[in-house]
Amino acid sequence: MALTRLTLPAANAGQHTVINVHHFGPENGQKVYIQAGLHADEHPGLLVAQHLIEQLSALETNHQLHAHFVVVPYANPIGLKQRSFGKVVGRCDWHTGQNFNRGMALDRDAFSGEFAAQFSADTAANDQRMRTSLREMVNQRLVGFEVESLHKLLLSQSIDAHYVIDLHCDVVALPHVFYGSHQPDEGRLLARCLNFPVCLEEDVTGTVAFDATHTQPWVLTQQHLTDTAFEQPCFAATVELRGNADVSDELAKQDCDGLLAFFAAKDLISGLPPAQPSTVAQTAIAVEQVKLINATAPGIVTYHCQLNDHVRRGDKIADIVLLDEPMPTRVAIIAPCDGLVFSLTNEFYVSPGQTLAMLATDEVQNKAGSQLAF
């Protein structure tokens, strides 16, 4: 085990911001990168990372690791400092407004036909060449704002990994996983190992978050080639650890064990007890099949559905009680389609456009590549 502490360029006189990077296992094979808290107001992952550090340390001592595991237990110390009247407001950078989990993708134009032309029939050599190119692109990135420095520093640790896991959470939600729609087998295996019921499969060629920043270059390059160019392109996933109040050692241990079971299934860890079979039915859909249920009026919400409900078209999802009518008046929010309620925002005073719930549905609801949250 090794711990390195990396310092961001100072954004303010007298302030130095440090990120810890924990390393486990042999460094001459595959690389696994796991981080928590890029959205600094999402805290379940911070505890899962601590469980991972403990477990990976023991596994390393027992020579059970067959890959290099890198754990960044708090990926966003800038966001952690953004405390307002007691609450951490860590989704977007206060200085620039930038969502910490957007805006770090490598230049899409770099993965052109000319770039693709350097790859040959030797897929293993192609993998190495791609990872070298990715490291160089990150190293050469020019940065200004502190959030850009943060992204560069994180990518410098992660961009060449074979597996990238970014730990997040929702507000009130069933546990779910996002990953590229080009890697359904690995994504669904990850969800089964975690015992998570919902898989959201994403077109990674458009706007991307941290996870797909790692898979997009491989996919864009492959699009210029007829034969399969790569042996083991990066697999990356955003793991949504339920809601932000779901912080407990019991859940963190369960999620840590699920992640380790996934890596054991990939032969990167040996000697673990057999994973428990998944006990939940798996719903795997494209991200475009998520229906956002939005508020249509300002007021107080009373919810008529719960997580894991299967609502039918026409069911009442919520009432919005208007506050400025002569007598109490309610606006019903009706499900426009069938779907599984997998996320609730549990906001009780809302404005028009604000999301109340998300449904996993059988039909395309949004344009490919559209974002579910700002």
- Residues at the site binding Zn ion, with contacts judged by CB under 5 A: 39, 42, 168
Residue number, 48 or 269, with CB nearest to Zn ion: 48
Whole-number minimum distance, CB 227 to Zn ion, in Å? Answer: 37
Residue number, 42 or 186, with CB nearest to Zn ion: 42
Residues with Cβ within 8 Å of residue 362, at least 6 apart in sequence: 285, 289, 338, 339
Among candidate residues 102, 327, 360, the one with its CA nearest the CA of residue 211: 102
* Three state DSSP letters for 188-237: HHHHHHHCCCEEEEECCCCCCCHHHHHHHHHHHHHCCCCCCCCCCCCEEE
- The one-letter amino acid code at 6 reads L
Whole-number minimum distance, CB 300 to Zn ion, in Å? Answer: 26
Whole-number minimum distance, CB 373 to Zn ion, in Å? Answer: 8
Whole-number minimum distance, CB 61 to Zn ion, in Å? Answer: 32
Coil, helix or strand for 139?
Answer: helix
Residue number, 143 or 372, with CB nearest to Zn ion: 372
List the beta bridge partners of residue 344: 172, 357
Residue number, 76 or 216, with CB nearest to Zn ion: 76
Residues with Cβ within 8 Å of residue 275, at least 6 apart in sequence: 193, 258, 261, 264, 265
Whole-number minimum distance, CB 291 to Zn ion, in Å? Answer: 20
Among candidate residues 70, 371, 355, 8, the one with its CA nearest the CA of residue 208: 371
Residues 295, 313: Cα–Cα separation, whole Å: 17
CA 214 to chain centre: 12
For 277-297, give one letter per residue: b (16+ CB within 10 A) or e. ebeeeebbbbbbbbbbbebee
Residue number, 92 or 335, with CB nearest to Zn ion: 92
Residue number, 123 or 354, with CB nearest to Zn ion: 354
Residue number, 42 or 255, with CB nearest to Zn ion: 42
Residue 272 CB coordination number (10 Å): 15
Angle at 72 (CA atoms; ends 44, 152), nearest 5 degrees: 120
Whole-number minimum distance, CB 37 to Zn ion, in Å? Answer: 9
Whole-number minimum distance, CB 70 to Zn ion, in Å? Answer: 20
Whole-number minimum distance, CB 91 to Zn ion, in Å? Answer: 7
List the beta bridge partners of residue 238: 166, 178
Residue number, 110 or 171, with CB nearest to Zn ion: 171
